Structure 1
Amino acid sequence: MKKNYLSIDIGGTNIKLAVIDHSGQIQSKKQVRTPHESAEFLAVLEEEIAAVQDTIRGIAFCCPGKVNTDTGVISFGGALPFLDGVSFVEEFQPKFQVPVSVINDGKAAALSELWLGNLKGIENGLALVLGTGIGGGLILEGKLYQGKHFQAGELSFMMKQSATPSFDDMYGKTGSAVGLVKMVNLELGTEDTKDGAAAFEAINQKDPSVYPIFEAFAREIAYMICNIQAILDLDKIVIGGGISAQPIVTNEIRKQYRAIRSELPFLEATLTEVEIDTCRFRNDANLLGALYQLLLNADEELAVNS
């Protein structure tokens, strides 16, 4: 029997699992709630892996936090602070006797786009993932660039000048998709301020009471893109995250980016406009990108041993 791979996307609310073949075709998927206590969390993962262990030849993880892809060690853990210092490689490779890899979730999204999505064939690009904060994965010279400390592309921490610097002055706050949905729903008087469907129904109708909020959000992202482009001179930027399923999101970001450039003729004349597109993969992006990291690790090991 030909064996596939198990890809596991760890989020603050849910853990997504998928059995995927070598070409990136998803064979099966499931989802379980994320335990927020370390022992229970590891027990759930072990149980899920054990259920398919006879059919897999590798395990690929992605998760929040800063991840050393060489050692598999996670730092901080984002919404799951108990992951700080944990290595899934050390935890699961000896138990299941298959290769294990780990990568940050935002960088996994970029890898999925590089492998099979809208960054395929792009030498220099960026996946910009809009969620609670702003995740990102940089593709430079055709490869994922993580930086010496595995923190390149942490766009949430880009700062704006302030007399008393705080997270409120970082793009992770002002460019938060979750924050956008909350602000729109508060203006609408929606009972559930997390109701993305209600927020985007009004946004898509260009409701005058909330559309300026959306325009301001898109302009924040557009300014970020202007700054990134001035430094990196990228070929293409793709917009990801749950809200990217709404075509109006990428369209408005692109509109605001071009408006900023047109308001600054010197900028427009000097810096080449970057292409802005939507990510091809949404809910499956992290699963596919995590697998691609595992495959890259295997290729590197073969190269070293050949």
Structure 2
Amino acid sequence: MFIGIDIGGTTIKYGLVDDQGRVSTKNSVQTSHIKDDLIHQLVTIIDNYKDEEIDGVGISAPGIIQKNGLMTTAGSIHSLYGTNLKMVLEEKVNLPISIINDANAVAIAEKWIGNAKDFENYLCVVLGTGIGGGIVIDGKLFSGAHGMAGEFGWMLIDRLPKEDIEKVSYNQRAAVVGGLCHQYNLKKHLENLEAEDVDVYDAFEIMNRAKNGEKVAQSVLEQFYTDLSVGLMNLMCNFDPEAILIGGGISENEEFSNQLKQRLEELLSKHESFHRLKNIIQIPIIPTKLQNDAGMIGAVYTLKQFL
């Protein structure tokens, strides 16, 4: 039996994961962004399972994570930057620890018991506040020379502005919160500079407003699907995957999936080289299966491979 822990910027999810990837006794706590407090939270979670026969602890976390457990970055949890979390925890709990980037955990969990079981070469794009990614080649995660591979959200997809060029990154144009919701709120403020409390951070609220005829919502959604599709096309020609899995809560929405596939097909048909190969090379866009448990499951799978 293993302990699976998924560290998020807001919540730490955890539970027991067996050899078949089944999760039980799940729970969660609010994430502390103070380093010592966060480490104490993790040690407490692990100690709470001391009556179980635990073989190790698999942890998924945001950021660029080295194979030795050094956290080069940690998303919004700035206090963990530069911390070797694996080493710190192993000294405190005397159990094998494995730490993996959260999007990579989703990708490899899908290979184990999810929608990528039949693929050896595929990509996983996780849509949330930003965009995370996982690259699986020959059935194994590819993390790059510095643990940075799969940071799809950093890609630039538009003409560069003179100032901060990250404004046209995949994160700020095609993520859910940092992209769709951010762009919607910008346009709503421009529409009425004196408007108050117009900020919306729910993709489905924007989709509903578009259905009800709101022009700003319709315009932003149209651009969102276009930007997301452009990024997927770039990934297709760079990696030639068997499939691209889309994760994050929005991926469960049928309307989102249908609209994305429709826009992607439209753009592929307008790209001469892609269009020429449409009957020869097909790369399906598939939602992930495991959703909220994927981080825990993927982290444990990685630990199992190490052990």
Taking the aligned partners of 2:292 and 2:73, their CA distance within structure 1 comes to 24
Distance 1:84 1:20 in 2: 28
- Residue 120 (str. 1) matches residue 127 (str. 2): no
Aligned with residue 22 of structure 1, among 19, 23, 47? 19
Aligned to 1:222: 229
Q: Which ranges of structure 2 fall in alignment gaps of 5 or more residues? A: 190-194
Q: Which amino acid aligns with 1:223?
A: V
Q: Determine which of 106, 109, 121 is the counterpart of 2:106.
A: 109
Structure 1, residues 104-145: CA drift from partner, whole Å, max 9, x if none?
Answer: 011111011111111112021111011121100011112111
Tell me if structure 2 keeps the 8 A contact 1:109–1:289. Answer: yes
Distance 1:103 1:36 in 2: 19
Q: Where does the alignment leave 5 or more consecutive residues of structure 1 unmatched?
A: 299-306
TM-score (norm 1): 0.89
Q: Compute the TM-score of the two structures, normalised by the length of structure 2.
A: 0.89
Partner of 1:168: 167
Give the Cα separation in 2 of the matches to 1:182 and 1:231: 28
Residue 256 (str. 1) matches residue 263 (str. 2): yes
Answer yes or no: is the 8 Å Cα contact 1:73–1:85 preserved in 2: yes
Cα separation, partners in 2 of 1:200 and 1:281, compared to 1, 3 Å: farther
The whole-number CA distance in structure 1 between the counterparts of 2:142 and 2:10 is 28
**Counterpart in the other structure of 1:181:** 181
Instruction: Give yes or no for the alignment of 1:148 onto 2:155.
Output: no
Q: Of residues 12, 22, 28 in structure 2, which corresponds to 1:31?
A: 28
- Contact 1:53–1:96, Cα closer than 8 Å, also in 2: no
Q: CA deviation digits over 1:56-87, x for unaligned, max 9? A: 22111111111112x11111211011111222
Output the CA distance in 2 between the equivalents of 1:91 and 1:53.
18
Q: How many residues align?
A: 293
Change (3 A) 1:285 1:84: same
Q: From the superposition, tell whether residues 96 and 279 of structure 1 become closer, same or farther in structure 2 (CA, over 3 Å).
A: same
Ranges of 4+ aligned residues in structure 1 off by more than 6 Å: none
CA positional deviation for 1:208: 5.0
Identity of aligned residues (%): 30
What residue identity is the alignment partner of 1:15? I
Cα RMSD of the aligned pairs, angstroms, is 2.1
Q: Does 1:288 align with 2:297?
A: yes
Deviations 1:11-38 (A, max 9, x none): 1111111111111111111110011111
| Kept after mapping to 1: 8 A contact 2:180/2:203 | no
